[in-house]
Amino acid sequence: MARTDTQTDIELLRDLYDRYAVGDVAPLFEHLASDVEWISCGRSPALAAFSGIFHGPDGVQRYFQGLAQEWTITKHEMQDIARNGDQVVTRNLVEAVSKATGKPVAVTTEHRWLLQDGRIRRFEERCDDEAALEAACRPSEP
């Protein structure tokens, strides 16, 4: 029985998430399309270092640099993965610590992936609770 594109895409993403969970982001870059569109939808100024629309592998590199500049990711666990039309959608538990304040936060994110021929064409990230991220960025009152 032939493997479907859906199975292949889901297996690829499972592998990339497993690698990312242990701090290995390099394999992701091997699967980016040259014209990839990478969207992180944070609207808060507190999330500006990694929010916005990034284009191409260089843009994705800037996204990860901004994220690493502001946060230490302590846990990234994919909780669910499924096909939704032409996209693969994941729900993820993310635990992180703000480098500016030392405050921890736990949020759920949704990632929407569009893959074609084993290449990531588009990625969109949504966070269920940006207010929690903002709070973790605010210094504690003396």
**What's the rounded Cα separation, in Å, for the pair 131 and 90?**
21
pLDDT, position 90: 97
pLDDT, position 95: 93
What does the angle CA 28 – CA 31 – CA 35 come to, to the nearest 5 degrees? 110
Handedness of CA 90, 10, 22, 26 (dihedral sign): negative
**What's the rounded Cα separation, in Å, for the pair 72 and 2?**
41
Let me know if residue 35 belongs to a domain.
yes
What range defines the domain where residue 33 resides? 4-137
pLDDT in tens, the chain (142 residues): 344 576 889 999 999 999 998 889 999 999 999 999 999 976 777 778 888 999 999 999 999 999 999 899 999 999 999 998 889 999 999 999 999 999 999 999 999 999 999 899 999 998 877 777 777 878 776 5
Let me know if residue 20 belongs to a domain.
yes
- Three-state secondary structure string covering 68-113: HHHEEEEEEEEEEEEEECCEEEEEEEEEEEECCCCCEEEEEEEEEE
Let me know if residue 34 belongs to a domain.
yes
- Would residue 117 be called left, alpha or beta, if left means φ above 0 and alpha means ψ between -120 and 50 degrees? left
Let me know if residue 36 belongs to a domain.
yes
Domain total for the chain?
1
Let me know if residue 109 belongs to a domain.
yes
pLDDT, position 3: 44
Let me know if residue 89 belongs to a domain.
yes
Let me know if residue 142 belongs to a domain.
no
CATH code where residue 79 lies: 3.10.450.50
Phi and psi torsions of 68, nearest 5°? -65, -30
Let me know if residue 28 belongs to a domain.
yes
pLDDT, position 132: 77
